[in-house]
Amino acid sequence: MKSLIVLDLSQCNFIGHVPSSMADLKQLQVLNLAWNFFSKVLDFEIFTETRLKLTYLDLNYNRISGEIPRWFWGISHDTLEAIDLSDNLLDGDIRQLHWKRLSYINLQYNSFQGLLPSLICQLSSLSSLDLSNNNFFGNMPQCFGIRQLHWKQLSFIDLRNNSFQGPLPSSICQWSSLSHLDLSNNNFSRNMPLCSGIQQLNWKRLCSLQFLQLSNNSFSGNMPQCFGNLTYLSFVDLSSNKLQGLLPRSLVKCTYLSSLILSHNQLSDIFPCSLEARHLELLDLYDNKFHGWVNLTDCRLSFPTLLALSIANNNFTGQWPMEVLSNTSLVLIDLSNNNFEGPIPLPSPVTFYYSIASNKMTGKIPPLICNATKLEIINLSNNRLTGTLPRCLTNFSIDLSILNLRMNHLEGKIPQSFCLRNNLTTLDLSQNRFEGTLPQSLVNCKYLEVVDLSDNQIEDVFSTWLGTLLELKVLILRSNNFEDILNIPKGAHLFSKLHILDLSNNNFGGPLPANLIMNFKPMMDDENGRDKPLYMESIYRGYEASVTVTMKGLVIELVKILTVFTTIDLSRNSFQGDIPEVFGHLHSLIGLNLSHNHLTSSIPPTLGNLVDLEWLDLSSNEISGEIPEVLGDLAFLECLNLSNNQLTEKQLSTFSSNSFSGNLGLCGFPLRKACPGDAQPPPPSSSLSFDHEEHESLFKRKAMWIGYASGIVIGISITYIALETGRPRWLTQ
């Protein structure tokens, strides 16, 4: 064994210490201990007691933690050619990295920090450098700018997900063997690296470059005109920068290009049909300033292998034959937020994502759309579509997850044929002209999370069978012709995950449904999402569920739905009787609107338990008695509307008079009517009220709404949000 040269113990699930007997392997050159459970750097100090001549050391995917001691950098100082410490828990800096013969370095997925050491420039044999997913920061070492730093063997650089900054060094253009360059998710800035000066990029020496990933930085200016010199370029991602101007015409020379991702910039050009990229599979121009007529009939010939097309959020126009896309291989089509007109183009039979939302599309939804049996997301919202729904649309694909047809002119009855074993999570048919009753086949949709049928002409009773949908979080039936009493059997475990309930502006009557409210567990949970305010999950980053709610007197569209946003709106119905005490158990409730009903009796003091409540509207009822003082202790309550009731005695001085108008029995500041024994009232308060203009101004100051999530790259997971301390939990900045 002492003459052993290669020792591979990877993926053996070893745990504990490195055996000291390894120090006896005097001839050992290759040591692979990857994918085990070694945890301490000190375990490897045995190697300093010998004069091992290791050329290859692989310790990746263990649990090694802490800073690397100085002695470790001296292991096999003159012989080591490759080191892999990736996927561990290491931290500290790497200033002592000075193995002279190193050609391969992989330190990814650790917590290394500090500046990149200039010693790295002395590694003349370097071929692969991976420092991604660490905490490095600062500018590139000054030696990177030396023209003589050729690194003739360097083929792979990955520095993504760090905090590097400043301009890119001009020496990049000297690395003629470089095939893979990933600098994404850093803070690099200024113009794209131009090598021979700010405006004269000479990429000719980068003749081997195939993969270029510079997304999520702060690069500005135009794309270099000599991109076309990179004739082997296959993957380009320059998204989420500040690039502007036209696309370089030399891109037509990049005949091997398979992915071109330019989303979230300020590029302004026409659609690049002239590329004629015969191998192009992904074209992403999302969220730029592209414009002009798009002739998909001609462009289809330019991109015969295209699989994903996203040109949303631009100013494109066009009108095409219905079958222009149906004979392609496109699995993803996103044409939303442009100015396209005419009938909707049919998706390909293999398409899984299809969005033409927010255009000017007209005509009917053709039944032939059901031939696309792979569809998971259909978003035709905010167009001018007319006619009835094809009967097949609710049962043609068991993979369909999202069906969004909101804000069109669709009419007729909703098909009664939602199939068994489907995967539908979102059904949004709001703001159309649908009539008839709810299809009971919706009970087959076991994964439904969002149902929005608001602003239609549906006539039905409240469908308690919807409560059997165990994943239902949002139910909006606002502004229809629903009627009858909400009679929920006591003990029935229905709607147990509901976050948003809006039944406003219907014809419901009878008492408020206490038995229903008792089931709203997410609204009762004191810790509902406090530490993890996430969006409801979307299977595709480009689509985010949105609903319209009345919030603090304003009609607001929530683009994305937070799991911590909880609200009940039963306003503008004919409910009668008391406000049930059970409302006081909804500790996580943010908004409650019971206005414009026929409620009587008094305001239950248990509403003072709603510690997260931000707006409460009980206006235009027949409520009597005193206002509970505990409402004044609710820290987040900004908007209180108790107007037009029969309340008496003293009101709350922390809200303006508009909150209490129409209650002749109320007295005390800020009302003009003084209570017996009150002193002269102070000057008018600047407290909040339901005054529309005043409150709208305040609301705009308080909240910055998040819009559509961006990006088109397939497989990227949804981004979590961060909330500022002290702000309401469902708001983001």
pLDDT at position 688: 41
Q: Coil, helix or strand for 624?
A: strand
Domain 485-644+689-702, CATH among 3.80.10, 3.40.1000, 3.40.50, 1.10.10: 3.80.10
Report d(CA 30, CA 24) in Å as an integer. Answer: 14
**pLDDT tens-digit map of 13-55:** 998 788 777 778 888 899 999 999 988 877 777 766 666 788 9
Check if the beta carbon of residue 165 is closer than 8 Å to that of residue 137: yes
pTM of the predicted protein model: 0.85
Which residues make up the CATH 3.80.10.10 domain(s) of the chain? 1-114
With bands split at pLDDT 50, 70 and 90, how would you rate the model's confidence at 682? low
Q: What is the mean pLDDT of residues 400-406?
A: 95
Could you tell me which residues are beta bridge partners of residue 58?
Answer: 32, 84
Report d(CA 612, CA 635) in Å as an integer. Answer: 8
Mean pLDDT is lowest, of 248-252, 369-373, 584-588, for 248-252
Token pair listed for 168: 């890119």
Q: For the sheet with 507-511, list strands across it.
A: 483-485, 507-511, 574-577, 598-599
Q: Coil, helix or strand for 414?
A: coil
pLDDT at position 692: 45
Check if the beta carbon of residue 144 is closer than 8 Å to that of residue 170: no
85-89, Cβ contacts within 8 angstroms, sequence gap of 24 or more:
85/59, 85/60, 85/110, 86/60, 86/61, 86/110, 86/130, 87/60, 87/61, 87/62, 88/59, 88/60, 88/61, 88/62, 88/63, 88/64, 89/63, 89/64, 89/65
Token pair listed for 580: 């049930």
Token pair listed for 607: 């509403």
Report d(CA 268, CA 271) in Å as an integer. Answer: 10
Report d(CA 645, CA 653) in Å as an integer. Answer: 18
pLDDT at 493 over 70: yes
Amino acid at 718: I
Token pair listed for 646: 């029969």
**pLDDT tens-digit map of 163-186:** 999 988 777 777 888 999 999 999
Token pair listed for 449: 């999370």
Report d(CA 220, CA 203) in Å as an integer. Answer: 18
Could you tell me which residues are beta bridge partners of residue 548?
Answer: 557
pLDDT at position 679: 59
Mean pLDDT of the chain: 84
Check if the beta carbon of residue 332 is closer than 8 Å to that of residue 351: yes
pLDDT at position 149: 63
| Closest C-alpha among 314, 305, 205, 313 to residue 268 | 314
Report d(CA 648, CA 661) in Å as an integer. Answer: 12
Burial 224-241 (b: 16+ CB within 10 A, else e): bbbbbbbeebbbbbbbbb
CA separation, residue 321 to residues 234, 297, 315, 342 (Å): 31, 8, 20, 9
CATH 3.80.10.10 fits 1-114, yes or no: yes
Token pair listed for 354: 């299809």
pLDDT at 144 over 80: no
Instruction: Tell me which DSSP letter residue 349 carries.
Output: T
Handedness of CA 234, 239, 241, 246 (dihedral sign): positive
Token pair listed for 556: 């607001």
Q: Which residues contact 109 (CB under 8 A, 6 or more apart)?
A: 86, 87, 88, 132, 133, 134
**pLDDT tens-digit map of 450-472:** 999 999 999 999 988 999 999 99
Amino acid at 684: P
Report d(CA 144, CA 141) in Å as an integer. Answer: 6
Check if the beta carbon of residue 561 is closer than 8 Å to that of residue 450: yes
pLDDT at position 69: 86
Mean pLDDT is lowest, of 106-110, 373-377, 492-496, 659-663, for 492-496
Q: For the sheet with 360-363, list strands across it.
A: 291-293, 315-318, 339-342, 360-363, 384-387, 409-413, 433-436, 457-458
**pLDDT tens-digit map of 51-69:** 678 899 999 999 999 998 8
Report d(CA 658, CA 284) in Å as an integer. Answer: 51
Token pair listed for 618: 């009980």
| Closest C-alpha among 618, 620, 621, 670 to residue 639 | 618
Q: Which residue has the tokens 């108008």?
A: 661
**pLDDT tens-digit map of 578-620:** 999 999 999 999 999 999 999 999 999 999 999 999 999 999 9
**Which phi and psi (to 5°) does residue 40 adopt?**
-125, 135
CA separation, residue 695 to residues 289, 640, 671, 727 (Å): 34, 11, 19, 17
Question: In three state form, how does the secondary structure of 443-494 look?
Answer: HHCCCCCEEECCCCEECCECCHHHHHCCCCCEEECCCCCCEEECCCCCCCCC
Token pair listed for 622: 């027949």
Amino acid at 567: T
Diameter over CA atoms, the chain: 103
Highest mean pLDDT (candidates 144-153, 190-199, 303-312): 303-312
Output 675 or 281, whichever has higher pLDDT: 281
